[in-house]
Structure 1
Amino acid sequence: MDPELHKAAVQGSVTSLRKLVAERPGILGSKTPQGNTALHIATELGHAGFLKEALGVDCKLLATRNADGDTPLHLAARMGKLDVAELLVSRASAWRAEHSPGSEQEPLFMANKAGDTPLHDAVKQGRSTVALMLLAAEPSVGHTLNMRKESPLHIAAREGLADVVAKIVRQPWVHEKFVPSDSTNGTALHQAVLGGRIRMVEMLLDATPQEQIGLTDSRENNALHYAALKNNARVVRLLLNRKVELAYKRNRDLQSPLHVAACKGSTEAMVELLRHCPDAAETVDSNGRNAFRLAIISGSVDALKCLLKHVRPEEIVNHVDHAGNTPLHLAAALSRIQSTLLLLKDRRVNPCVLNRDGQSARSLLEKRDTTEEMDAYEMYMWKKLKESEASRCKNELLPPVASDQWVRRRRAGNDEFNVGTYTLVGTLIATVSFAATFTMPGGYSQTEGTAIHGHKAAFKIFLISNTVALCSSIVVVFCPTMWAWRDPVEVELKLDQLMWRRRLMWSRRLTNLAFLAMLVSFMTAVYITVEPTTRWPAYLVIAIVASTPAVVFLTLGKETFYVPL
């Protein structure tokens, strides 16, 4: 572009423009490397006087596109330059009188490379005033689709521009313009739901014919699918009050809105859906999966809780898919610990159901990859499944419980770690207590060979507590060896869970007793040897040691005394 023209456009100098045009009549045709004319530059900067003068010289500049396909009117709409937009719209209206209405070269309808008209740009930027001006000049442009198959109505509905939506919907609905079969954006109603615009949804429902409320996007999702996705219970209620059939419509994957809500954990939307359409829980997708399965697959425990609370029929809770698996089978196979435990708490869930391969949920878990070890949570899940079968499937023919080798492999390191820990702690306490017996606090009398402080009450407490610590720790160390000697198979496999847990519990209790006795012997030993010379250090040590059990209890809670079953 000519430098002097560029400067005049940036400054909005009408005088300079007139001078340049007088000297070189064709100068307004020059462009920047991006294809912008002087009209584009002046529009973006809001120089209405310059535009008026330039258009008076060459009105064809109104329809000139830059490299992005934008006309000056696109820029005016995007920037929200009201006075500039008014001028350009008035000139565009005059253009219509000189050319055939609806022409692709008509500025109000001209689209850029993205397929956006000036009205698209105005609503994208929230320029309601400019958008209303454009609609006043040409109402039908509100339904023009861009490359993404979005009309200004779509965008205005999503952005919540109520006045713009109200003006656009006054135009007659043209059915073919609202079937975006090749679009992922759906209708304007879809976009209003997606943006959570309650007022827009109400306006569009009032303006949309009943038969068009159920229009879908390219994935065959209706507006209720979108509401379920966004977990908007109020929109769900609005849509169902207008067209309850939407709850039973399925998309391309044969998923209903309830499926979508379960998959996304949209519990509020699920409650509203089930309140209006309780039988919607019966619908299944292309793989024969109901909403329960999708909640389990997605790992949404809240969605599963919601379904168990609001879905009553037992046959739905235990519904089998194409492979014959119930939701409990699926939860066990996927190691969804919380979902499995939640299902087992519900008395309607039947753990005795076998799939087409003859597997229960428990045996399906056992037949899973045998090369990996189960963690503690998976082992606990397996135990609960086994207990549930034992209590509720007494008269059922079920696959046999896992072999001893499977239990040993899966539980590798769990209980051995517990016993080994108790044994190590017991050994340390026994060693310290045994050594303290022959290094009495205060020493021995050189003549009689007895403890110097043997007559004191504190020494007697030391002697008793040290003996308790020694004996308790010896039992903790000695008993596991005897158990292994008496029944090595039981100790290795831990098949008698109740007996094994009781033994662990007594080991813990005796370890706690030895620990407390050792603390008492330490306190009394310090008191005997320090108190006669300086009292306050002895009392301070006693206070610190006495607070140790309380700290342990605050840290471990009830597990200080009990082995969790």
Structure 2
Amino acid sequence: MKSSESPRSEVTISSEDFNLIEPFYNAVWSGDWQATNEFITRNPDVVRARITYSGRTALHVAAVNGHMSMVETLVDKMYEEDLEIKDVDGFTALAIAATYNASIEIAECMVRKNTKILTIHVNDMLPAALAFRYGYTKMGRYLYTVTPLDNLVLPQNGIDGATLICNAIYMRSFGIYIDPARAITDSCRELNNIRLLTDNMSIIGSPEKDSHHKFWSFRGLALKFLKMLGIKFLYDMKLVHVQTFQLVHQMCATTTSLDEIQLEACFVYDALFRAVDRGNVEFVISMLKANQELVEICDELWRNIFMRAILNRQANVFNLIHRLDSKLAAATAIDRHGNNMLHLAGMLAPDPQLNQISGPNKISGAALQMQRELQWFKEVESIVTPWTIEHKSSSLTPAQMFTRDHKDLRTEGEKWMKETATSCTVVGALIVTIMFAAAFTVPGGNNQDTGVPIFLNKELFMVFIISDAISLFSSTTSVLMFLGILTSRYAEEDFLNSLPKKMMIGLSTLFFSIATMMIAFGATLLIVLRDKYSWIFFPVISLASIPVTLFVMMQFPLLVEIFASTYGAGIFDRNVQIWN
């Protein structure tokens, strides 16, 4: 039936007629094209009839079940206006296709018949936005590409474009290019797209700054290369990174045209502070590049973005202060409660940052948590003016506030250090005892006349002696270091360098003593059994390597973490670049 024919009025089936229409419903539901076609031949108007109690037409039913051939048959026999029929919930057949099975082929068939259905609202959303809302990103992308642009960006339709971007951001689908000014300004009190981006960027990360994504710096080349190789997962991940930051830069650029009232009403200030609290430095940089005056804004407690960064221990954001001309003004700010930056550094970090168990800033154990807190205090102290060091808030200087707020953490750090040192001391003392005894009970024994070891002239005997001596000396050093930890005064300053240094020396020498002990054991076996039972050597040596491997797996990561935290590059970077 051609669309050029005069349209007929919509036919409604009464409740008494549902039994009569049931065979037709069953044929459509099951995808029986032949039975459906025969029924339509006898009853042409049935294609536009409501054949369910929820007011759905045959096209709705076919779309729900994804019957492509059935949809083509029905669409061919329907008028253009028939595709605009809604069920009792306000869903057109296209909206059903967008929210049930996400069949793009079915949507294409309907759109070819009537493009107007792309602009019919369902629950205050266009079909494209609806598809994103229900999680069908591919369908959403298709419907977005065929939806008239005027229905997304014109002033009277701006909310539709904002809704579309909002839902796309929720699904982390960022290839939607609509005037970013509309995305921010229209109905921004309800949509707050820019705040959604802050949340999503914490999950997605940065394609340029994230150390785990250095490869992504070659944007165009990487995209072409990955697409050529057909590595879909990596290609999609890269595409999401690129699209995210393109959208971020577009949205941030529009903030320059907004006045203070609009910025606050559109949640721009809120988005910036959320980005600071979450450590989304790329978002913060994009905002500051677009509008450098944002660096001067304060929250309801009169805290600027750097004070918020300190409070939430976001070093990557705090580092930006070194690149600002207004560094001194930011560093001398006082909040509503009379706290300066150093007071905030003296407060205990929030649990998510204090107990971070993964990522590049991972912290294991209360002692390292205490060390990180001291590092923050020292770093902030190095940039504030002298008067702030003695400035009091609630009758406390920053140092006194640090002591008060970190009292429990210091106690927990002392307990953690002592427990670790005690356990390692037992192991070290045991190795000292074994290696000391082994030095006087050498393999093969001694010549009874001269007292000289029987195997003295063998090369393997020297391996045994040297390994035994090294193991004895290193285990003794380890025990002494751990005893030093057990007898330490545990002042706050000790957690910064003294205690971690002793722990590193103790763990590394203990590891070395275990390894050389196993070497001495292997050399002994080879000396004694090499002539007649050489076959047993390799199985025994393999078993002997198990203790060394276990120690490496359990303690070596801690050793590396302590070293990185104490002597590594650290989390603070005074040469960070943001204006390039």
Category of TM-score, reference length = shorter chain? 0.5 to 0.7
The 5 A counterparts of 1:69-468 are 69-70=55-56, 80=70, 112-116=87-91, 126=106, 148-149=123-124, 154-155=126-127, 195=141, 197-201=143-147, 203-205=148-150, 210-215=154-159, 221=162, 225=166, 235-236=176-177, 238-240=178-180, 244=181, 247-249=184-186, 251-252=188-189, 255=192, 257-265=193-201, 266-275=244-253, 283-284=263-264, 289-296=269-276, 299=278, 303-308=280-285, 311-312=288-289, 316-317=294-295, 319-331=297-309, 333=311, 340-346=314-320, 347-348=322-323, 353-360=333-340, 363-364=343-344, 367-368=347-348, 375=355, 376=363, 378-379=369-370, 381-398=372-389, 399-401=397-399, 402-403=402-403, 405-446=407-448, 451-454=453-456, 458-459=460-461, 462-468=464-470
Cα distance in 1, alignment partners of residues 344 and 462 from structure 2 = 62
Change (3 A) 1:396 1:475: same
Cα distance in 2, alignment partners of residues 77 and 155 from structure 1 = 14
User: 3-state DSSP class of the match of 2:301?
Assistant: coil
Change (3 A) 1:132 1:393: closer
**Alpha-carbon distance, 1:427 to partner:** 0.6
Change (3 A) 1:446 1:267: same
Cα distance in 2, alignment partners of residues 109 and 373 from structure 1 = 53
- Do 1:77 and 1:121's aligned partners in 2 also have CA atoms closer than 8 Å? yes
Cα distance in 1, alignment partners of residues 285 and 426 from structure 2 = 47
State the match for 1:166 in structure 2. none
Query: AA paired with 2:337?
Result: D
Query: AA paired with 1:499?
Result: S
Cα distance in 1, alignment partners of residues 407 and 259 from structure 2 = 42
**Alpha-carbon distance, 1:528 to partner:** 3.7
After superposition, the C-alpha distances for 1:65-97 in whole angstroms (9 at most, x for unaligned) are: 65333467876998746666666759x9xxxxx
**Alpha-carbon distance, 1:115 to partner:** 3.9
**Alpha-carbon distance, 1:294 to partner:** 2.2
Query: AA paired with 1:393?
Result: V
After superposition, the C-alpha distances for 1:107-166 in whole angstroms (9 at most, x for unaligned) are: 898754234567877998836666766x6xxx99987666x356xxx3378779xxxxxx
Change (3 A) 1:541 1:562: farther
User: 3-state DSSP class of the match of 1:442?
Assistant: coil
Percent identity between the two aligned chains: 15
**Alpha-carbon distance, 1:321 to partner:** 0.8
Instruction: Flag structure 2 segments of 5+ consecutive residues without an equivalent.
Output: 1-12, 202-243, 356-362, 390-396, 567-580
**Alpha-carbon distance, 1:433 to partner:** 1.1
**Alpha-carbon distance, 1:405 to partner:** 3.3
Query: AA paired with 2:426?
Result: L
User: 3-state DSSP class of the match of 2:435?
Assistant: helix
After superposition, the C-alpha distances for 1:278-318 in whole angstroms (9 at most, x for unaligned) are: 56798345888443322355x4x5x4324325633665346
Higher helix share: 2
- Do 2:435 and 2:468's aligned partners in 1 also have CA atoms closer than 8 Å? yes
The 5 A counterparts of 1:23-42 are 36=21
- Do 2:481 and 2:503's aligned partners in 1 also have CA atoms closer than 8 Å? no
Cα distance in 2, alignment partners of residues 407 and 331 from structure 1 = 21
Query: AA paired with 2:200?
Result: K
- Do 2:59 and 2:75's aligned partners in 1 also have CA atoms closer than 8 Å? yes
- Do 2:342 and 2:381's aligned partners in 1 also have CA atoms closer than 8 Å? no
State the match for 2:489 in structure 1. 489
**Alpha-carbon distance, 1:391 to partner:** 1.6
Q: Which moved more, 1:261-270 or 1:38-47?
A: 38-47
User: 3-state DSSP class of the match of 2:88?
Assistant: coil
**Alpha-carbon distance, 1:554 to partner:** 10
Structure 1 vs Structure 2 CA RMSD: 5.4
- Do 1:427 and 1:477's aligned partners in 2 also have CA atoms closer than 8 Å? yes
Change (3 A) 1:547 1:470: same
After superposition, the C-alpha distances for 1:35-86 in whole angstroms (9 at most, x for unaligned) are: 736776788765556555567xxx8998676533346787699874666666
State the match for 2:54 in structure 1. 68
User: 3-state DSSP class of the match of 1:522?
Assistant: helix
After superposition, the C-alpha distances for 1:228-265 in whole angstroms (9 at most, x for unaligned) are: 556666533x424xxx465445622583x433322332
Bigger RCO (CA 8 Å, 6+ sep): 2
Instruction: Flag structure 1 segments of 5+ consecutive residues without an equivalent.
Output: 1-27, 93-106, 161-183, 186-190
Cα distance in 2, alignment partners of residues 551 and 122 from structure 1 = 56
Change (3 A) 1:253 1:293: farther
**Alpha-carbon distance, 1:432 to partner:** 0.6
Matched residue pairs, number?
Answer: 464
**Alpha-carbon distance, 1:441 to partner:** 1.8
Change (3 A) 1:414 1:308: farther
After superposition, the C-alpha distances for 1:407-429 in whole angstroms (9 at most, x for unaligned) are: 52352444334433442332121
Cα distance in 1, alignment partners of residues 171 and 387 from structure 2 = 44
- Relative to the length of structure 2, the TM-score reads 0.60
- Relative to the length of structure 1, the TM-score reads 0.61
